[in-house]
Structure 1
Amino acid sequence: MVLDVIRALGRRWYVVLVGAIVTAGLTVGAYVTTPPEYNARALVLLLPSEVAVGEGGNPFLTLGGLEQPAGILVAYFSSAPAREDVKQQSPTAQYVVGIDDSTRGPVIAIDVTDTSAEKTLDTLTFIADRIPVELAALQEQVDTPADAVITSIPLTVDEKAERGMGATIRMMIAALVVGITATCITAFALDGLLRRRQLRRSGELSEQPEKPEKPEKKRRKHRGSKQEDAASASVDDEHTPVPVSASTGRER
């Protein structure tokens, strides 16, 4: 099957050539038209309350139990109101807020993707600034005492957005696959169609009946055969011996 396809592509090389040009154009078009993506990341750490730390205590030693408040914040930023707020900040921004897997503790990771570096950093700063605000609002709703309030601090915030080529590469690969597939299918289908036509024509020529002779030629042929029969009969008469009578010596 693979050899048949390769042979068909070789016979229809002109289709392959045109397909290669079109595929190259699609790939370049995908690279040019795909909007760029910029990525930025921030990490925010939740800190325990004064009551949990105690006088002269180290807050980093009492981070246990803060994963649940961090999970509540993550759930909030996944809600429709939070996404609407981010959309007003930048309609093209995409973000993910979740618990950072690389650390064991209440560390919230913020990943933002947008069409420009400036928009990406602005959206990242907006979400990072909203975390302490929403954390305080959640605790006010349950009347948390001032000395038991959980706080947060930014660990890292990217100051420069990096351009990502993931979407562009995906679009280029898709254009390449579509172009190659369409070229192979077209060349193989055209080869099969043309070969069937050739076989049909050769079969029609081999099965074509002989043309009947015209009546005039038949009559001429018949007359000629009669003349040949008469001539052959006269020749036979000349060579036939004539019987002679024994008594008279005359021919009968």
Structure 2
Amino acid sequence: MYLRDLGDSLLRRWYLVLGALALTVGVCFAALSAVSPTYQTTSSLVLVPPKTTTGVSGNPYLYLGGLEQSVDVLARAVNADATRDQIAKTATTGEYEVSADLTTSAPILVITATDSSSAGAQEMLDAVVAEVPTVFRRLQASLGVRANSQITTLEVPTDDGPSAINKARYRMAALAGAVWLFLAFVLIGFLDGVLLTRTMRRSAELLLRTDAMDAPSEQTAGNKQKAGNK
């Protein structure tokens, strides 16, 4: 019932609805300006087997099988708090995420860095890429693996630099516009109700005044009729 009444109110005050829709554009632009874009950049590290496996003239890419478990272990180590604290000394802002590349069976580690600025995202990515080999060497050394037998990493850049991610901005703008329209429509419905109440009250007062003015006339006519009968 209330929704139907609200629809009737919006139809009656269509000019206010047009004004609210026009202001919605301004609200959306204001929300876009208030939320800064997020910049994201990625890179990949492929795990390369040691020369003790490939030989002096062997092709390391022919021996990538079986390194998938090493990718998972390395990703967990790089995402650990201790590694994050170490990287934060170089890149003071931004966030990063390291995971195995699920789109391929090759032992590839995907690094994704994000920040509120393009320079910050690139700085974070460079810091993580520089720290990963150190973490990997430390992991293997803790198991007693000699340096010439350790698995190494090779960077494979996957994009041309940080790019702006505007999903959060657009989502915020859409939310702000929807909330504004909802509040505006409710306000228009309330205003319409107030105006209708005032109109009905004035009509009722005018009707009462008319009845009050007609009552003496009817009484006078009745008295004259009584006097004539006498």
What's the TM-score, normalizing by structure 1? Answer: 0.74
Give the greater-gyration-radius structure (CA): 1
Which residue does 1:177 correspond to in 2? 178
Letter in 2 for 1:12: R
* Residue 75 of structure 1, CA deviation: 1.0
Which residue does 1:64 correspond to in 2? 65
Which residue does 1:144 correspond to in 2? 145
- Contact 1:40-1:162 at 8 Å conserved across structures: yes
Which residue does 1:79 correspond to in 2? 80
Tell me the secondary structure at the aligned position of residue 143 of structure 1.
coil
What's the TM-score, normalizing by structure 2? Answer: 0.80
Which residue does 1:46 correspond to in 2? 47
Which residue does 2:115 correspond to in 1? 114
For 1:212-227, list aligned pairs within 5 A.
225=226
* Residue 53 of structure 1, CA deviation: 2.6
After alignment, is 86-95 or 111-120 more displaced?
86-95
- Residues in 2 aligned to 1:118 and 1:186: alpha-carbon distance in whole angstroms: 45
Aligned pair count? Answer: 228
Aligned alpha-carbon RMSD (Å) = 3.5
- Contact 1:41-1:111 at 8 Å conserved across structures: yes
Name the % identity: 28
- Confirm whether residue 13 of structure 1 aligns to residue 27 of structure 2: no
- Contact 1:43-1:107 at 8 Å conserved across structures: yes
* Residue 87 of structure 1, CA deviation: 3.8
* Residue 113 of structure 1, CA deviation: 1.5
Segments of 5+ residues of structure 2 without an aligned counterpart are: none
- Contact 2:113-2:124 at 8 Å conserved across structures: yes
- Residues in 1 aligned to 2:39 and 2:180: alpha-carbon distance in whole angstroms: 28
- Higher helix proportion (structure 1 or 2): 2
Which residue does 2:26 correspond to in 1? 25
- Contact 1:20-1:179 at 8 Å conserved across structures: no
Segments of 5+ residues of structure 1 without an aligned counterpart are: 230-252
After superposition, the C-alpha distances for 1:136-155 in whole angstroms (9 at most, x for unaligned) are: 01111111123321111111
- Residues in 1 aligned to 2:91 and 2:20: alpha-carbon distance in whole angstroms: 40
* Residue 43 of structure 1, CA deviation: 0.6
- Residues in 2 aligned to 1:157 and 1:227: alpha-carbon distance in whole angstroms: 112
* Residue 46 of structure 1, CA deviation: 0.5
After alignment, is 190-199 or 160-169 more displaced?
190-199
* Residue 207 of structure 1, CA deviation: 8.4
- Residues in 2 aligned to 1:199 and 1:224: alpha-carbon distance in whole angstroms: 37
- Contact 1:94-1:112 at 8 Å conserved across structures: yes
- Residues in 2 aligned to 1:49 and 1:155: alpha-carbon distance in whole angstroms: 18
Which residue does 2:154 correspond to in 1? 153
Residue 56 and residue 222 in structure 1: after superposition, are their counterparts in 2 closer, same or farther (change >3 A)? closer
- Contact 1:31-1:171 at 8 Å conserved across structures: yes
Residue 227 and residue 119 in structure 1: after superposition, are their counterparts in 2 closer, same or farther (change >3 A)? closer
Letter in 1 for 2:81: A
* Residue 62 of structure 1, CA deviation: 1.6
